[in-house]
Chain A
Amino acid sequence: MSAALRFILRDGQVPGAGPLPSLIHLTLSTLAVSGIGIGIALVVALPIGIGLGHLHRGSFIAINIGNLWRSLPSLAVLAIAVAFLGLGLVNVEAALIVLAVPPIVTNAYVAVDGVDRDLVDAARGMGMTQWEVLARVELPLSLPLIFAGIRTAAVFVVATTTISALAGYSGTLGDVINNETSYRTYGVLGGAICVALLALTVEVVLAGVQRALTPRGLLRGTSGRPL
């Protein structure tokens, strides 16, 4: 354990081995790979989820896509993506997007669909247009739940990005865990500690953002998130 911590303090270098990639560099590139995946997933998923929720249509698809998602093993999805597309950044991103879209769609749909109909009616009665109802009533009220979906997806994507090392994609923190020959047992343990800390940090930061985004009137009783 102490050897693993010293490995982290040495920024991922192993005495007696050649220069290895720095842990900070690997952490940043893990975040970059994850960030691209989540970014594209957001652009795809948010309009679908929010649009369907606003129109109160497509509940079957919007909700079941979330159930389907849970039963997709990320390593299996990566393996199938590698078989069809080969190995590379684009293909890892494709798998990440497939895994990140469903929870965002489901949460956005449930959030917008679940906004109190009376409030929407009141807004219409005040003369708001469709877009105003969406932008000024439905979205602010559903923001915490929408963000909860993004949070679930983000933590999941970070985990899957590190797993992509097992599927042969190198350049992330997963490399350290997947390469016991170079890193020795304590290096692998140190890498695992870094991966765990990274995921926990992402979770805590996003939980903070979620709290900051929540309208003050909603702060009570909305701290939980669906899993």
Chain B
Amino acid sequence: MLIAAGGPVIPDFNTGAFACERANPLFCFDWFSRNWGGVLWPALREHVLLTVVAVAIGFAISSVLAILAYRRRWLERPIVAVTLVLYTIPSIALFELLVPIRGLGLSIRSAEVALVSYTLLILFRNILTGLRAVPEEVLDAARGMGMSSRQLLWRVELPLALPAIVAGLRIATVTVISLATIAPLIGVQSLGTPIFAAIGNNLFKTELIAAGGLAVALGLFADGAFVLAQRALTPWTRAR
């Protein structure tokens, strides 16, 4: 009774240092500048790291698989079937399905395995398509010059497949950036961490928009960077 009579328990509801946070408008610049160094920047850094590692491992695995399937045609179907199943499983489920596996658990290893498995279908298909698109006459000419099959692969087939390979890397990278936001579900830091924190904190809008916006911006930035890299790496595709 006494407390109720004494008025609000928390005085100064809309003034003071955290007034903006309490009012929860669309965006508090104050919060943003105070938490950039401690919350947003580390999340962004972890997110980029998760992505780079996943794409690199995925690229290594897919390259081997694609070269195998290029040499032995019958391997294509089973590889596509398995990677398509992995690609179709929603990220939220795949992350959880990996946790009970011994040696993975609630760790960055589970997150990386999940992220890598989403890159396989995209990268495998693109690398294989690129290799198969190399014209037969070019291969004949190279063989006529006395190239071994290894030289053929490194000096002719892979360079000519580069546009398709880079296109695959581009899709795989933005896909991983997108899926890595779910990683906090299994205790791994990413840009999803501040998003989950904001959801738990009464839908704190500034943090939702800042972290969500950073994730979108990172995806767009990576996409643009790959377009430029593709141009720089394959000048011949623009020549007429």
User: Which A residues are within 8 Å of any B CB, using their own CB?
Assistant: 1, 67-68, 70-77, 79-80, 82-84, 86-87, 155, 158-159, 162-163, 165-168, 174, 177, 185, 188-189, 191-193, 195-196, 199-200, 203, 227
Contact = CB atoms under 8 A, between A and B. Distances in A.
A76 B203 contact: no
A192 B222 contact: no
A166 B26 CA distance: 20
Contact of B92 (A77, A87, A195): A195
A74 B93 contact: no
Nearest to B200: A168
Interface stretch (B9-17, B61-69, B130-138, B211-219): B211-219
Contact of B93 (A71, A199, A227): A199
Interface stretch (B94-102, B139-147, B148-156): B94-102
A227 B91 contact: no
Contacts of B196: 166
Contacts of A76: 178, 181, 191, 195, 211-213, 215-216
B223 A71 contact: yes
Contacts of A83: 26, 203, 205, 208-209, 212
B178 A74 contact: yes
Among B93, B99, B177, the one with the most A-chain Cβ atoms within 10 Å of its Cβ is: B93
B96 A177 contact: yes
B7 interface: no
Interface in B54-101: 84-85, 88-97, 99-100
30 contacts: A68-B220, A68-B223, A70-B223, A71-B177, A71-B219, A72-B178, A72-B216, A73-B180, A74-B181, A75-B181, A75-B182, A75-B195, A76-B211, A76-B216, A80-B213, A83-B209, A83-B212, A87-B203, A155-B88, A159-B90, A166-B196, A188-B96, A189-B96, A189-B99, A191-B93, A195-B89, A196-B89, A196-B90, A199-B90, A200-B85
Contact of B220 (A1, A71, A195, A203): A71
B107 interface: no
A166 B185 contact: yes
Nearest to B227: A67
Contacts of A159: 90-92
Given A71-B219, A200-B85, A195 B203 contact: no
A165 B91 CA distance: 13
Nearest to B222: A71
Given A71-B220, A199-B90, A193 B121 contact: no
Tell me the interface secondary structure of chain B in the complex: helix
B166 interface: no
B20 interface: no
B26 A75 contact: no
Interface in B158-191: 171, 174-175, 177-182, 185, 191
B192 A75 contact: yes
Nearest to A73: B178
Given A80-B209, A155-B88, A196 B93 contact: yes
Nearest to B219: A71
B195 to A, nearest CB: 5
Among A67, A70, A165, the one with the most B-chain Cβ atoms within 10 Å of its Cβ is: A70
B174 A70 contact: yes
Contacts of B91: 159, 163
B48 interface: no
Contacts of A166: 92, 182, 185, 196, 199
Given A163-B92, A166-B182, A196-B97, A84 B26 contact: yes
B94 A168 contact: no
B215 A75 contact: yes
A9 to B, nearest CB: 18
A200 B212 contact: no
Contacts of A84: 26
B121 A227 contact: yes
B97 A189 contact: yes
Nearest to B168: A227
